[in-house]
Amino acid sequence: MSTLPFGAPQSRDFALALEIADRERESGRSDVACGMFRVVMAQCPDYAEGWLTFPDVQDKQPVPADFTAMVRVADREQQAARFEEAVALYRVVLAQAPAYVDGQAKLARALFCLRRWDEAWRAFDIRFRLMDGPPTVNARDADGQPRDLPRVFEGPLPTRLLVMCEQGMGDTIQFCRFLPRLLEAGVDLQVVVPQRLFGLLRTLDPAPPCLPGEVGSSLRNVDTWTTMMDLPLLLGLDEADLMAREPYLRADPVRVARWRDWLAGQHGDRSGPVIAICWRGNADHKLDKSRSATLADLAPLAAIPGATLVCLQQDATDAEIAACDFGAAIVRPGPDFDSGIDAFLDSAALLTLVDRLVCVDTSLAHVAGALHCPVDMMLTDQWADWRWIDRTDFNVWYPTLRIWRREADGTYKDVAVRIAGDIAAVDTSGALP
C-alpha cells in the first residue's frame, strides 16, 4: 500500500538541532552534543553555523550511537512538552534513518501535540507499519477479475468509496462522526467495521451501509478506499471541525427505560451521585500498563457521601469487587449486559442515566463522548495517546469530556481524589432523568 511522507527537515530544524546540541554540551554531555553535530552536518556539510558552533569537532560521519543519543534527546524534549524541538530532532534523524518506524510514530505524536493537523495526519500514516497485518482492499472488475483498489488520502472526494475501520473499537467510535459528512456530500459509501458495532453505528444520522470486518470479501461498485482516521484529511477539516458539537450517536430508548428501572432499584434512597466506573482497557495494548488503573485507585469516589458506583468494567470479576474495601458501594448490571451480537448498546443507555463516567483511556470514553454524557478521563503522565494533546486539559473531540492527568510520580488514586472533590462540589441528588 502507498504511504504519506513524514516531512523532510528544513533549515530551521537543523538550526534547532544545533541549538539543542549546544545546550547538551553546556550541560556536560559533550559526547551527545558532538554526535548530534555529526548527524546534522552529514546532511548539510556546508552549513556554516554548524562549524561555528562546533569548531573543535573533526569532520566525521555519524555512527549508530549518535542517532540513538539524538532520539533520546528528542524523546526528552517531547516529554518536557518542547514539541517544536522534538519535531526538529526527529526529522533530522529520520532523514538519514527513514526505516526508523518508532521515530516516525513519535514525530506524528509531537505534531499532533502542536496541533499541526495536516502534517500530523500525514505523518500518522506510519501506523500501518506498526500493524501485524495492514489493511488491503481488492475489488472485482466488470469481467470478475480481482484488482487492488487505490487508497485515497486527500480530496477531491471520490464518487464511490469504501471506508475501513481502524485498529480499535474506540478509534472507530471516535472517527465514525465523519461518515455522515461523506453521505451528505453525495459519496456512494460503504463502511467496513466490526459487526459488533453495527447497532451503534446505525444511530448515526444519516447512517452508512456497513459490512462486517470479520469476513473477507471481494467488493464491487467501489472505486477507491480510505480509513476512518484518513477522513479529517480527506474532508479538508480544520481543528474547529473535529469537535462533536452535537451528539452523533444515540441510545436505544427501550434500553434506556429498562436500565432506568434497574438503576432506580440499585440506587435506592441514597442521596449522592451515580457514577459509572471503568478502570482498565485492553490488556493486549502495548501501553496498557501505564494507561490502566486499578479498582482500588477509585476508592475516593466511593467516599463521596451517598454515592453509587456502577461497574461498567466488562472483565471485572466478583472476586475482584469483593476484595476491595468499598464493594458495598458498587453495583453491577449483570451477565446479560452488552451481551449478544451488539456491543455498547446497554452501556450507551446506562451512560445517559448516570451523573458521570470516570474511566481511563478506553473505548467507553468515546461512547460517552459521542453521546455527550459527562466523562472524567484519567490519563497517564507518560506518553499519553496522541489524540489527547499533552500538557493540557483541553481536548478537540468531545465537549463533555474532561481530562485529568496523573502528576509526575503520582498515582491514579491521586487523580481520583481530585475528581471526587470536583464531583462532591456539584449539588446532585443522584436523581435519575
Which residues are within 8 A (CB) of 124 and not within 5 positions of it... i.e. 6 or more apart?
108, 112, 229, 386
Return the CATH fold of 11-126.
1.25.40
Report domain extents, the chain: 11-126, 138-242, 253-424
Give ∠ CA 385-200-118 in degrees, rounded to 5: 40
3-state class (DSSP) for residue 9: coil
C-alpha dihedral sign at 42, 44, 49, 51:
positive
Output the pTM of the full model: 0.92
Could you say which DSSP state residue 304 is in?
Answer: S
Q: Which amino acid is at 414?
A: D
- Scan for cell 459487526, then name that residue: 195
Closest listed residue to residue 423, CA positions, set 330, 267, 301 = 301
Give ∠ CA 334-340-341 in degrees, rounded to 5: 150
Q: What is the pLDDT of residue 246?
A: 97
| Beta bridge partner(s), residue 189 | 161
pLDDT by position in tens, the chain (length 433): 444 456 788 889 999 999 999 999 999 999 999 999 899 988 888 777 777 777 777 667 889 999 999 999 999 999 999 999 999 999 999 999 988 999 999 999 999 999 999 999 999 999 888 877 677 787 777 777 777 888 998 889 999 999 999 878 999 999 999 999 999 999 999 999 999 999 999 999 999 999 998 776 667 778 899 999 999 999 999 999 999 999 999 999 999 999 999 999 998 788 899 999 999 987 666 666 778 999 999 999 999 999 999 999 999 988 999 999 999 999 999 888 998 899 999 999 999 999 999 999 999 999 999 999 999 999 988 888 999 988 777 799 999 999 999 988 889 999 999 999 999 988 555 545 5
Q: Cβ–Cβ contacts within 10 Å for residue 87, how many?
A: 30
C-beta of residue 162 within 8 angstroms of C-beta of residue 242 = no
- Scan for cell 446532585, then name that residue: 428
Q: Cβ–Cβ contacts within 10 Å for residue 212, how many?
A: 14
Q: What is the pLDDT of residue 1?
A: 42
* CATH superfamily entry for domain 253-424: Glycogen Phosphorylase B; (3.40.50.2000)
3-state class (DSSP) for residue 276: strand
Q: What is the pLDDT of residue 433?
A: 56
Distances (CA, A) of 69 to 26, 36, 41, 143: 16, 8, 16, 56
C-beta of residue 310 within 8 angstroms of C-beta of residue 331 = yes
Cβ burial 135-159 (10 Å sphere, 16+ → b, else e): bebebeeeeeeeeebebbeeeebbe
Q: What is the pLDDT of residue 4?
A: 44
Could you say which DSSP state residue 157 is in?
Answer: P
- Scan for cell 440499585, then name that residue: 266
